[in-house]
Amino acid sequence: MKTANPLATLGASVLLALPTFAAELKIGLADDADVLDPAQSRSFVGRIVYTALCDKLFDVTPDLKIVGQLATDYKWSADGKELTLTLRQGVKFQDDTPFNAQAVVDNITRAMTLPESRRKSELSSVSKVEATGDYEVKFTLKAPDVTLVAQLSDRAGMMISPKAAKELGAKFGDHPVCSGPFKFVERVQQDRIVLEKFQDYWNKDNIFIDKITYRPIPDSAVRLANLRSGDLDLIERVAPTDVETVKGDSNLDMVDKVNIGNLGIYFNVGNGARADNPLGKDKRLRQAFSLAIDREAAMQIVYDGTGVAGNQPFPPSSPWFNKDLPVPARDVDKAKALIKEAGFDRVPVELNMANDPIIAQMMQIIQSMVAEAGFDVTLKATEFATLLNDQTAGNYQVSRSDWSGRVDPDGNTNQFYTTGAGLNDMHYSNPDVDKLLSEARQSQDDAVRKQKYDAAGKILAEDLPIVYIGHQAWIWGYNKKVTGFVPSPDGMIRLVGVKKAD
């Protein structure tokens, strides 16, 4: 039996409020969030907003341990097919609806059945969820799934008001009502998302900010300028080339953490008519594209030594990294040979990317590298939420996208590579990969799981529906008036304990 210590929950320590805290914290985001519905959303910055807006059943500590948030305890049955949660009492949603076992049942059922939900693959092992007490919930699984607790520490475990969910349906994101420390006030697309402190939050004594304004500013130089001028208090994803500027400003501090995610180039291999392109149809061309990239050089130039090169969903430092598949060296001659073998001399490529200056720099470098092998890449920049929508709709040939990463390896693999999964925008399908990733979910033995992920990784390194470039570091800059911010490898901005002096 495995249990989570009820006392090992975030915000359990008592912090004394002082009367001099500033009312508003202004946070600069590198992108605009997509729809503010945990069941439907997929953007990284959306998860940052949810950290303030929507509590989860579990959360992740800065040292990547899973701890209780709205769940205070859990236990597995001996056969691994039942998971029972004990829930926190005295919690309200932001519309005063009570949080209880039935609310959890309603949330999980919605995430599994809402037609627009992207959480279905994350909860695909769940056969039934039921309230077995006022504050006890039991998940019955189709097969053992050791990853479920990790899934419930992210969007699949975010609790929204069942009342609001029923009233708004798929339009819930227009006015989200959750269970977190801050409640929704307004949103102006591409300009701001405003939240205010929820006065009945269960852990309100550890929340010292009255209002949060998130400002999406894709240009890292403009984001930093706003921080230096005082128009922002904290920014995420400081450009590596701006680190020395932040360090040299007496009003600012910075902190960084290498993340658990990845930087990827996605190939449309089966998502609609636009999959009918050379790179989508022939894995030899995808292999050539990968071989034409000097990952070490690209990461060093763009991230100034703060990131690492990579070729797998997990960074080389991860215990899940397959050392039998090291980061490949650039081999232009071999790339040319594969292109010729596939029947091409030059290969036209349209590559979608977000209109972010760091991403643009990276892709211009890669554009130049792969041109030497025979790829004529046209870069198409667009707003980030549009990029994600185009990927979902199959309106792309090749697309550059980041993944912020998850604690459990399943979160970096299953939802991207299994047939029909929520983030499988490539529409990649391989029965052997489906089987291996499913089996990896079922074992509680990490050695067995590692074998399954290694075997799946070997197939994926051949098929290459995604070509990985590397793994960046999260870098935050903030005004010295802001204290209590604790960085985490998952990139989230958690506001429990954060203060801002007047």
Residue among 234, 242, 305 at smallest CA distance from 473:
305
- What is residue 78's predicted lDDT score, i.e. its pLDDT? 93
- Dihedral class, residue 284 (left if φ above 0, else alpha if ψ from -120 to 50, else beta): alpha
The whole-number pLDDT of residue 23 equals 87
How far is residue 385 CA from its own chain's centroid?
Answer: 14
Distance CA 311, CA 326 (A): 7
Cα–Cα dist 214/232, whole Å: 9
**What was the pLDDT predicted at 22?**
63
Q: Partners of 199 in the beta sheet?
A: none
81-95 per-residue burial string, b: 16 or more CB within 10 A, e: under 16: bbbbbbbbeebebbe
Residue 439 DSSP one-character state: H
Whole-angstrom Cα distance, residue 319 to residue 323?
Answer: 10
Nearest by Cα to 491 from 463, 472, 468: 472
SS (H, E, C) 150-168: HHCCCHHHECECHHHHHHH
- By CB neighbour count within 10 A (0-12 exposed, 13-18 middle, 19+ buried), where does 346 fall? exposed
pLDDT tens across the length of the chain (502 residues): 444 444 344 444 334 444 455 689 999 999 999 999 999 999 999 999 999 999 999 999 998 899 999 999 999 999 999 999 999 999 999 999 999 999 999 999 999 999 999 999 899 999 999 999 999 999 999 999 999 999 999 999 999 999 999 999 999 999 999 999 999 999 999 999 999 999 999 999 999 999 999 999 999 999 999 999 999 999 999 999 899 999 999 999 999 987 899 999 999 999 999 999 999 999 999 999 999 999 999 999 999 888 999 999 998 888 899 999 999 999 999 999 999 999 999 999 999 999 999 999 999 999 999 999 999 999 999 998 899 999 999 999 999 999 989 989 999 999 999 999 989 999 999 999 999 999 999 988 999 999 999 999 999 999 999 999 999 999 999 999 999 999 998 999 999 999 999 8
pLDDT for position 64: 87
The candidate with the shortest Cα–Cα distance to 100, out of 110, 108, 90, is 90
C-alpha dist (Å) from residue 299 to 113, 220, 352, 353, 468: 41, 17, 19, 17, 12
C-alpha 312/C-alpha 235 separation (Å) is 28
- Cα 60 to chain centroid, rounded: 13
The 3-state DSSP class for residue 288 equals helix
Six-digit token pair at 182? 């801050």
DSSP class of residue 287 equals H
Burial (0-12, 13-18, 19+ Cβ within 10 Å), 183: buried
Whether 354 contacts 383, CB under 8 Å? yes
Cα separation, 95 vs 183, whole angstroms: 9
Whole-number pLDDT of residue 5: 46
Which of 40, 39, 36 shows the shortest CA–CA distance to 48?
36
Contacts of 340 (CB under 8 A, 6+ apart): none
How many residues belong to the chain? 502
Q: d(Cα 185, Cα 177) in Å, to the nearest integer? A: 10
Written as one letter, the residue type at 285 is L
Element (H, E) at 148: helix 148-151
What the block records as the tokens of 483 is 């204290």
Smallest Cα–Cα separation from 437: which of 420, 425, 489, 426?
420
Six-digit token string for 307: 């990131």
pLDDT of residue 502: 83
CA distance 456 to 325: 12
Smallest CA-to-CA distance from 38 within 148, 154, 186, 174 is with: 154
Rg (alpha carbons) of the chain, rounded to whole number: 23
Query: How many CB atoms lie under 10 A from the CB of residue 143?
Result: 14
